[in-house]
Amino acid sequence: MKYLFIDSATATLVVAIIIDDKITYIYNQKVGKDMSSVIILERDGKIIRQKRITEQKENSKLIMPTVKKVLNKEKPDSIIVVNGPGSFTGIRVGLTVAKMMSWALNIPVVPLSSLEVIASTPTSENNIALIDARRGFVYAGVYDNDLNVIMEDKHMELAKLNIDGQIVSYDDFAGIKPNLDILKVIKKHEKDKDINPHKLNPKYLKLTEAEEKLNRQNDNGSK
């Protein structure tokens, strides 16, 4: 099996080709200017990994040339793509490519979580994966070492993230390079049922501000 893997939900764009359980090419590069960060914490709240999220528009330039390069004129058998959470625009850039490729080439596509990819970093304990959602919020998910879900991905206040009694603050976000285990992620999902590309959509975990405002107005109106 030849898998094309795409993760553009954060500014570290990852595009990889996996053939018969081996990564034959991986592009793992941060792009553009720094805007915010992705952090991986251990159970005790200590930071073990971090990657910076950058201006997502740049992924839109990089992704197709990168896909072309990694595919090297060959057609993938299947696509594994991150569909969120993370930068709204970033998610859509990679997912549009995956949707169109799956539809045009008539090959299966399987979505997975950006937080799970971040949590693929090998540790002795559960991985708490966080992506900065700004204004004191994060996208958070907890996975064990075999990438089983311990806590479902969610959008939450950073201040409410309580790890073994410890409150994690923004100040703890120091810089350490990521160390993702894409192979582990692929293995975990290779048996997943594929999705009709027409129905493959982002998982933002957050409504747009306009929708939130309208919902509040409607709630107030009904009271």
Partner 1 sequence: MSTYILAIETSCDETSMAIIKDGHDEIATVVLSQMDTHANYGGVVPEIASRMHIENITLVAEEVLRKANMKMDDITAIAVTYGPGLIGSLLIGLMAAKTLAFIYHKPLVPVHHIAGHIYANNLVRQLEFPLIALVISGGHTELIYMKEDYSFEKLGGTLDDAVGEAYDKVARVIDVPYPGGPLVDKLAHEGKDTYPLPLPLDDDSYNFSFSGLKSAVINLVHNEKQRGQDIIKENMATSFQNRVVEILTKKTLKALKEYDVHNLIVAGGVAANKGLRERLTKECLANDIHLIVPEIKYCTDNAAMIGAAGYFAYKLGRRADLNLNAKASDMLH
The residues binding partner 1 (CB under 8 A) are 57, 60-65, 67-68, 88-89, 92-93, 95-97, 99-101, 103-105, 197-198, 201-202, 204, 208-211, 214
Q: How far is the CB of 207 from partner 1 (least distance, A)?
A: 9
Closest to partner 1 by CB, 129 or 131? 131
Closest to partner 1 by CB, 61 or 216? 61
Q: Is the dihedral of CA 213, 201, 190, 79 positive or negative?
A: negative
Closest to partner 1 by CB, 109 or 180? 109
Tell me, rounded to whole angstroms, the distance of Cα 25 from its chain centroid: 19
Q: How far is the CB of 128 from partner 1 (least distance, A)?
A: 28
Closest to partner 1 by CB, 168 or 195? 195
Q: How far is the CB of 33 from partner 1 (least distance, A)?
A: 15
- Of 135, 179, 118, 129, nearest in space to 151 by CA: 129
Are 126 and 115 contacting, i.e. CB atoms less than 8 angstroms apart?
no
Are 43 and 166 contacting, i.e. CB atoms less than 8 angstroms apart?
no
Distance CA 38, CA 10 (A): 8
Q: What are phi and psi of 169, to 5 degrees?
A: -115, 170
Q: How far is the CB of 199 from partner 1 (least distance, A)?
A: 9
Distance CA 161, CA 138 (A): 9
Q: How far is the CB of 109 from partner 1 (least distance, A)?
A: 11
Distance CA 158, CA 160 (A): 5
Closest to partner 1 by CB, 36 or 166? 36
| Token code pair at residue 72 | 């090297």
Identity at 40, one-letter amino acid code: I
Closest to partner 1 by CB, 148 or 208? 208
Q: What are phi and psi of 86, to 5 degrees?
A: 150, -150
Q: How far is the CB of 191 from partner 1 (least distance, A)?
A: 24
